[in-house]
Chain A
Amino acid sequence: MRVLGIILAGGNNNKMDQLVEKRAVAAMPIAGSFRSIDFALSSMTNSGIQKVAILTQYNARSLNEHLSSSKWWDFGRKKGGLYVFTPTITNENSHWYRGTADAIYQNLTYLKNSHEPYVVIAAGDGIYKLDYNKVLEYHIEKKADITVVCKEMQPEWDDLTRFGIVKTDDENRIISLEEKPKVVTSHLVSTGIYILRRRQLIELVEEAVEKGGYNLVTDILIDAVQSRRVYSYKMDSYWSNMSTVQAYYKTNMDFLNKDIRDYFYREYPSIYSKIDDLPPAKFNGGAVVKNSLISSGCIINGNVTDSVLFKKVFVGNNCTIKNSIILNDVYIGDNTYIENCIVESRDTIRPNSNYTASEGTIKVVVEKNERYTQ
Chain B
Amino acid sequence: MIRKEMIAMLLAGGQGSRLGVLTSKLAKPAVPFGGKYKIIDFPLSNCINSGIDTVGVLTQYQPLRLNRHIGIGIPWDLDRNIGGVTVLPPYETSNNSEWYTGTANAVYQNYEYMEYYNPEYVLILSGDHIYKMDYEVMLEYHKQKNADITIATIQVPMEDAKRYGIVITDKTERIVDFEEKPEQPRSNKASMGIYIFKWKVLKEALSSMSKQTACDFGKHIIPYCFKSGKRIYSYSYNGYWKDVGTLESYWKANMELIDLVPEFNLYEEFWKIYTKSDIIPPQYISSDAKVARSIVGEGTEVRGTVYNSVIGVGVIIEEGCEIRDSIIMSHTVIKKGSKINKAIIAENCTIGEQVEIGFLEEIDNLVAPHIYNSGLATIGEFSVIPDKVKIGKNIAISGITEPDDYVNGVLESGETLIKAGEK
Beta-carbon contact of A292 and B285 below 8 Å? yes
Could you tell me if B287 and A281 are in contact, using CB atoms closer than 8 angstroms? Answer: no
Instruction: Decide: B285 and A290 in contact? CB cutoff 8 A.
Output: yes
27 CB contacts below 8 A, A to B, read A33-B281, A266-B299, A273-B280, A275-B280, A277-B273, A277-B274, A277-B275, A279-B35, A280-B35, A280-B266, A280-B313, A281-B283, A281-B296, A281-B297, A283-B295, A284-B260, A285-B260, A287-B291, A289-B291, A292-B285, A294-B282, A294-B283, A294-B284, A296-B282, A296-B297, A296-B298, A374-B261
Closest chain-A Cβ to B277's Cβ sits at a distance in Å of: 5
Distance in Å from the Cβ of B142 to the closest Cβ of chain A? 29
Tell me if B290 is interfacial: C-beta within 8 Å of chain A: yes
Contact across chains for A283 and B291 when beta carbons are under 8 A apart: yes
Give the contacting residue for B282; candidates A33, A286, A299; CB below 8 A.
A33
Which A residues touch B261, using CB under 8 A? 374
List the 7 closest A-B pairs by CB distance, nearest first: A32-B282, A279-B266, A280-B35, A295-B282, A265-B281, A289-B285, A293-B282
Residue among B74, B260, B282, B313 with the highest chain A CB neighbour number at 10 A: B282
Contact code string B264-296 (vs A, CB < 8 Å = 1, else 0): 001100001111010011111111011111111
Q: Does A364 contact B (CB under 8 A)?
A: no
- Give the interface size class of chain A: 35 or more
CB of A309 within 8 Å of the partner chain: yes
Interchain CA distance A295-B285 in the complex, whole Å: 11
Please name all residues of chain A whose beta carbon is closer than 8 Å to the beta carbon of B35 when the two chains form the complex: 279-280
Which chain B residues in 58-93 approach chain A with CB under 8 Å? 74-75
Q: Is the CB of B291 within 8 A of A279?
A: no
A-side interface residues toward B, CB under 8 Å?
31-34, 71, 256, 261, 264-266, 270-273, 275, 277, 279-297, 299, 308-310, 374
Contact A279 B287 (CB under 8 A): no
Partner among B267, B277, B291, B292 whose Cβ is within 8 Å of the Cβ of A299: B267
What is the interface of chain A mostly: helix, strand, loop, or mixed? loop
Chain A contacts for B272, CB-based, 8 A? 277
Name the residue of chain B whose CB is nearest to the CB of A272. Answer: B280
Do B287 and A275 have beta carbons less than 8 Å apart?
no
Q: Select from chain A the residue with minimum beta-carbon distance to B36.
A: A280
B34 within 8 A of partner (CB) = yes
Interface size on B, residues (CB 8 A): 37
Which residues 21-68 of B sit at the A interface, judged by CB distance below 8 A?
34-36
Residues from chain A with a CB closer than 8 A to the CB of B295 are: 279-283
Check B74–A283 contact: CB distance below 8 A: no
Residue from the list B74, B289, B292, B296 in contact with A285, Cβ < 8 A? B292
Q: Which chain A residues border B277 with CB–CB below 8 Å?
A: 275, 277
CB distance from A294 to the nearest CB of B (A): 5
Contact A275 B75 (CB under 8 A): yes
Residues of A within 8 A of B285 (CB): 289-294
Nearest B residue to A295 via CB reads B282
Closest residue of chain A to B272 (Cβ to Cβ) is A277
Residue of A nearest to B74 (CB): A71
- Separation of A284 and B273 alpha carbons in the complex (Å): 21
Distance in Å: Cβ of B45 to nearest Cβ of chain A: 9
Measured CB to CB, the closest approach of chain A to B78, in angstroms, equals 13
Partner of B280, one of A33, A279, A293, A310: A33
- A278 to chain B minimum Cβ distance, whole angstroms, is 8
Q: Which residues of A contact B267 (CB under 8 A)?
A: 279, 282, 297, 299
What residues on B are CB-neighbors of A308 within 8 Å? 282
A280-B314 Cα distance, complex, nearest whole Å? 12
Query: What is the CB-to-nearest-CB distance from A69 to chain B, in angstroms, rounded to a whole number?
Result: 9
A32 touches B281 (CB 8 A): yes
A294–B282 alpha-carbon span in the complex (Å): 5
Q: Name A31's contact: one of B75, B282, B292 (CB within 8 Å).
A: B282
| Complex contacts, A283 vs chain B, CB 8 Å | 291-296, 306
Chain B hits for A293, CB < 8 A: 282-285
